[in-house]
């Protein structure tokens, strides 16, 4: 059901410890699956106790926090676990562009959680009956151009690079989409199982049809402690171990990629510093090696000064330079002008929040919007003044392979 702000009734919530459920994703029924899983731990949910379409605009995160405070704060909670992620939990997905429609928050009727060697089940009202059905394969997948063809997108990259060289901005992140059509309806559970198995170090997620596996943790809040993983600078995996090492070394030494990463770190530092009593950023990035690509990565940690919820930090951080550009406001205008598509939830915040303001939110990369037999896949990359359009196209195609693997197996 859809619940509007100001008309909610207190939700009866019960959280109880349970035995180890094993594979969390195997617990999901066929309908309305919600998921946030990494290395076998996380949360999965089903059913809908409350949901809302978040109005677009610059105040959307404040509006969302107010709605959550009403729905979760007034809940009648029997919590036998009292751990981050116990009690009532909401899953959410926000559009990349604050002016776009499509942001959503959902409080599932049941949430199964596995964290730190413990597991628990949260239910709202009577436990919803799970109707299991066999996971089905979508069959043959065909692909077609999205908003722009490959040559058209290369021309957009060239235009963006020229504007950077002319001094309008330092960096802009451009995305493209790819349309996939299956023989049979796409079972989201199959995509989640394949993604979690192939990319265990990523955050496999599912919220309101947006499905993917992102390597990028926007923010984790546990009490006053926060953590973020910044990724900027990418190269495809090599054809063998020697090629892999050479590509990683070239990425680490690349002035273009190092500058792109430094822009992303500076953006995060500038955003988080006013919210934190302490903040630590590394002097040098490390190499994050995934099955399809390698990234320059930096772990950022801090302690909140004023008790802000995880959603307040999300509001301050989004969009980061890693998915927008530098300077951010100029980059967003260039994206709106050149990209030629609505990103929807791609590169927007996706994750979960509990009634205490704890939670984990990632950036919805390596993802797609799934509806029936069709999926709209997204990928992108950071454009600098010396970017080569053909190389940027190849990078985007490498990133598409994550969701193509999920569809094809």
Q: List residues with catalytic annotation.
A: 171, 216
Burial 380-402 (b: 16+ CB within 10 A, else e): bbbbbbebebeebbebbebbbbb
Query: How much of the chain is helix, strand and coil, in % rounded to 5?
Result: 30, 35, 35
Task: Kindly report the backbone phi and psi dihedral angles of residue 288, in degrees, each rounded to the nearest multiple of 5, phi listed first.
Answer: -100, 115
Q: What residues contact 173, with CB distance under 8 A and at least 6 apart?
A: 322, 323, 324, 325, 331, 335, 347, 380, 381, 382, 383
Identify the CA nearest to 301 among candidates 311, 290, 293, 313: 313
Instruction: Give the DSSP letter string of 229-257.
Output: EEEEEEEE--SSHHHHHHHHHHHHH-HHH
Report yes or no: 349 and 202 within 8 Å, Cβ to Cβ: no
Q: Which of 251, 100, 264, 250 is closest to 172 using CA atoms?
A: 264
CA distances 385 to 36, 154, 161, 380, Å, are: 36, 14, 5, 16
Strands 12-17 and 76-79: parallel
For strands 210-214 and 203-207, give the pairing. antiparallel
Dist CA 25 CA 18 (whole Å): 16
**Nearest-angstrom CA–CA distance, 59 and 105:** 15
Cis peptide, bond prior to residue 164, ω within 30 of zero: no
Positive or negative, the Cα torsion across 142, 197, 396, 378? positive
Residue 22: both structure tokens together: 């094993």
Return the structure tokens found at 83.
Answer: 């751990």
Question: Do residues 21 and 81 touch, judged by C-beta distance below 8 A?
Answer: no
Q: Measured on CA atoms in the order 388, 394, 398, 403, is the torsion positive or negative?
A: positive
């Amino acid at each position: 059901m859809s619940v509007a702000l100001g008309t909610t009734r207190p939700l009866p919530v019960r959280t109880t410890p349970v035995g180890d459920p094993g594979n969390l994703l195997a617990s999901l029924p066929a309908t309305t699956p919600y998921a946030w899983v990494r290395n076998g731990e996380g949360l999965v949910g089903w059913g809908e106790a409350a949901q809302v379409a978040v109005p677009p605009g610059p105040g959307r995160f404040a509006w969302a926090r107010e709605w959550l405070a009403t729905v979760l704060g007034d809940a009648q909670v029997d919590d036998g676990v009292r751990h981050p992620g116990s009690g009532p939990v909401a899953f959410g997905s926000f559009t990349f562009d604050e002016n776009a429609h499509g942001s959503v928050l959902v409080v599932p009727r049941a949430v199964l959680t596995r964290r730190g060697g413990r597991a628990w089940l949260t239910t709202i009202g009577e436990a919803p009956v799970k109707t299991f059905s066999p996971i089905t394969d979508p069959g043959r997948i065909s692909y077609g151009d999205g908003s722009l063809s490959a040559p058209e997108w290369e021309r957009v990259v060239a235009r963006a690079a020229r504007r950077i060289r002319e001094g309008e901005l330092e960096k802009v992140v451009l995305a493209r989409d790819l349309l996939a059509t299956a023989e049979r309806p796409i079972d989201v559970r199959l995509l989640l199982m394949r993604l979690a198995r192939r990319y265990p170090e990523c955050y496999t997620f599912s919220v309101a049809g947006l499905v993917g596996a992102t390597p990028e943790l926007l923010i984790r809040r546990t009490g006053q402690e926060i953590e973020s993983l910044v990724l900027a600078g990418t190269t495809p995996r090599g054809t063998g171990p020697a090629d892999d090492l050479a590509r990683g070394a070239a990425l680490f030494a690349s002035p273009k990629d190092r500058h792109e990463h430094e822009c992303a770190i500076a953006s995060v530092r500038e955003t988080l510093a006013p919210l934190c009593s302490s903040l630590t950023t590394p002097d040098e990035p490390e190499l994050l090696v995934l099955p399809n690509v390698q990234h320059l990565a930096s772990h950022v940690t801090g302690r909140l000064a004023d008790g802000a919820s995880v959603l307040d930090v999300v509001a301050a951080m989004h969009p980061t330079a890693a998915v927008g550009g530098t300077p951010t406001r100029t980059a967003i205008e260039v994206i709106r002008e050149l990209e030629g598509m609505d990103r929807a939830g791609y590169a927007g915040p996706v994750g979960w929040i509990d009634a205490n303001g704890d939670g984990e939110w990632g950036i919805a990369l390596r993802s797609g919007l799934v509806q029936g037999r069709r999926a709209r896949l997204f990928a992108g990359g950071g454009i600098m003044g010396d970017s080569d359009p053909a190389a940027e196209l190849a990078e985007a195609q490498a990133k598409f392979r994550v969701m193509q693997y999920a569809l094809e197996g």
